[in-house]
């Protein structure tokens, strides 16, 4: 999964041909860190249909504010450059994330 920041957000997410899921995480968000390796696996499994990228909220506060992400972990689904769905919360399970991926695949 590639790291996205304000410089490549447009290119990697908005202009992507494939639907994109953006995983917002942070270094002091333990649930985020627990999820990351499992999300990497999903990214591999669904790579033909959906692109998964991650944003470290700690270095990208502006981007978070712009997208109105105020809670971690958050997963935003983009299709044709538009946000179509998001899920968020410290009790998110990998199953719910997979459902989100499937819903836009």
Partner 1 sequence: MQLKRAINFFELWEMTGVVTMNNYDVIIVGAGPAGLTAALFNARSKLKTLCIDEIGNGGQAAITDLIENYPGFPEGITGSKLTIKMAEQVERFGAEKITEKVQKLKLEEEYRVVVTNQSKYRAKAVIIASGASPRMLGCPGEIDFRGRGVSYCATCDGAFYEGSNILVIGGGNAAVEEAVYLTKFADKVTLVHRRQELRAAKVAQERAFTNPKIDIIWDSVVEKISGNSSVEKVILKNVRSGERREMFVDGVFVYAGLEPNSAWVKGVVRLDEKGNILTDENMCTNIKGVYAAGDVRRKLLRQVLTAASDGAIAAFHAERYIESQFYGS
Q: Per rule CB under 8 A, is residue 35 in the interface with partner 1?
A: yes
HEC assignment per residue over 47-88: CCCCEEEEEEHHHCHHHHHHCCCCCCCEEEEEECCEEEEEEE
Min dist. Cβ of residue 94 to partner 1 (A) = 6
Residue count at the site for partner 1 (CB under 8 A)? 30
Q: Among residues 49 and 61, whose Cβ is nearest to partner 1?
A: 61
> Does residue 64 have an active-site annotation?
no
Q: Catalytic: which of 4, 13, 21, 29?
A: 29
* Residue 24 parent element (H or E): strand 20-25
Residues in contact with partner 1 by CB under 8 A are 26, 28-35, 38, 57-58, 61, 64, 68-74, 86, 88-95
């Amino acid at each position: 999964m590639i790291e996205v920041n304000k410089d490549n957000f447009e290119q990697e997410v908005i202009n992507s041909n494939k639907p994109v899921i953006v995983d917002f995480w942070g270094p002091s968000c333990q649930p985020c860190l627990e999820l990351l390796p499992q999300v990497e696996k999903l990214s591999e499994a669904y790579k033909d249909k959906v692109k998964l990228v991650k944003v470290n909220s700690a270095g990208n506060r502006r981007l978070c504010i712009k997208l109105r992400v105020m809670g971690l972990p958050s997963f935003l689904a983009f299709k044709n450059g538009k946000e179509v769905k998001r899920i968020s919360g410290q009790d998110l399970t990998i199953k719910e994330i997979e459902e989100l991926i499937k819903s836009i695949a």
